[in-house]
Amino acid sequence: MKGLELSEGYFLHYGAPMIREKFAPYADRIAAGLVGDGSECYEFDDEISQDHDWGPGFCLWLTQDDFAATGMKLNEEIEKLPRTFGGFGPRQVSSWGGGRLGAMDISQFYQQFTGVASQPDNLTDWLFIPENALSTCTNGKVFSDPLGEFTRIREAFLLFYPEDVRLKKMASRCMTIAQSGQYNFMRCIKRKEFVAAHYAETKFFNDVISMVFLLNRKYTPYYKWMHRALNGLSELGDVVYERLNSLVLTMDYNEKYMIIEEICSMIIKRLRAHGLTDSSSDFLLDHGPKLQEKIINEELRQKNVWIG
């Protein structure tokens, strides 16, 4: 049983009737679903996931005025619902797992992840919202949204970054992938700075995965799921997933470096295929400024190429 499926069944069996019977005036104004923190929201949950913050539960999203009028009462009624469903539960809430479920203000829900109550209205704000935060507030599933307000904001975020912001982030990734992988990794090995080499390798993983998600116009999830989430992405997803596994598993530093170069070469080929660079260089760092040149917004184009 996946947590998302369990939660939808729990809502349909208990939550929806409770809303119709006790909150009829708001029945056509409340959105319901499961979105946010937790492996079940990505459908990555398994038996190991069930030891904490997993089990029957759902989110209800209301406008600010509706939440002020009835949010507290809704949460009181939710607390009265059965704690088990379908043979699962009760949910074991960890010290840091509170606040994920129940009735909440739509604007506050998005603001806790992005810092803004709706989609940003300027490119700088877009640039500095963490990718994993945008992934978290757009994952999961909306079970019902008769009013449409929660979904309106969700769909605006799911359209992905404005293109200039995407290009800015990709330009920055070119720089940092090249720096950590193609340049610093082997230098650290030669100096026997193995901790620094390990950090460079980890930084390389992070930024390569981010680059692949940016190529696919999807937000990179929380670090624990970012590698797993590569599978199925049309642009380099499956092949980079496999090559990063190989990179981790080999203990041969020369082989590691060959895989690093192979991954960088694949990225460069995709950037060229999309017309984002015309550089013939094999060093990914040389392609960052090329992507930066494609940015239309002058203020964003003038920012340091490493920022993103």
The pLDDT tens digits for 231-265 are 999 999 999 999 999 999 999 999 999 999 999 99
With cut-offs at 50, 70 and 90, classify the pLDDT of residue 128.
very high
* Residue among 201, 213, 185 at smallest CA distance from 270: 213
* Residue among 176, 170, 187, 173 at smallest CA distance from 275: 170
* Confidence at residue 96, expressed as pLDDT on a 0 to 100 scale: 82
**141-144 β-sheet, strand order:** 102-105, 59-62, 31-34, 141-144
* Run of H or E including 62: strand 59-62
The pLDDT tens digits for 15-55 are 999 999 999 999 999 999 999 999 999 999 999 999 999 99
User: What is the spatial distance between Cα 272 and Cα 264, in angstroms, rounded to a whole number?
Assistant: 12
* Confidence at residue 1, expressed as pLDDT on a 0 to 100 scale: 86
* Confidence at residue 118, expressed as pLDDT on a 0 to 100 scale: 86
User: What is the spatial distance between Cα 148 and Cα 154, in angstroms, rounded to a whole number?
Assistant: 10
Cross-strand pairs, 142: 33
In the chain, domain spans: 3-158, 163-301
The pLDDT tens digits for 138-150 are 999 999 999 999 9
